[in-house]
């Protein structure tokens, strides 16, 4: 098995729920850290993250961030081949998101 540590996703969240990261074929991903930062002047931007799909049943975490605020997850979230990490923000181009982890092949 080979490990590849690094950034799995880095961009601003869309205003419509979308897959941010999909685990490649023959790979397992371990998400170790997620940072959400409200870079806009808008208060109360709601961020929703999903695991394995984009429906309410797949909702994993939700947080509201005021202008300049951030939220972080540190731990181990394991995803199997073809599983996704999805996300959405209530205001487009407001939340910069960085996801780091390990891809194991």
Report pLDDT digits (tens) over 44-80: 999 999 999 999 999 999 999 999 999 999 999 999 9
Residues 6+ apart with CB under 8 A from 54: 17, 18, 19, 84, 86
Token output for 20: 């941010």
> In terms of residue numbers, what domain contains 84?
3-104
Q: How many domains does the chain contain in total? A: 1
Report pLDDT digits (tens) over 21-46: 999 999 999 999 999 999 999 999 99
CATH number of domain containing 66: 2.60.120.340
């Amino acid at each position: 098995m080979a490990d590849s540590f690094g950034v799995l996703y880095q961009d601003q969240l869309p205003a419509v729920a979308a897959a941010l990261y999909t685990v490649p074929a023959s790979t397992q991903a371990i998400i170790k850290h997620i940072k959400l930062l409200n870079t806009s002047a808008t208060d109360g931007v709601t961020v929703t993250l999903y695991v394995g799909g984009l429906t309410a049943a797949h909702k994993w975490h939700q947080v509201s961030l005021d202008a300049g605020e951030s939220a972080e997850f540190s731990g181990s979230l394991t995803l199997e081949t073809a599983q996704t990490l999805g996300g959405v923000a209530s205001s487009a181009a407001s939340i910069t998101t960085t996801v780091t982890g390990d891809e194991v092949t």
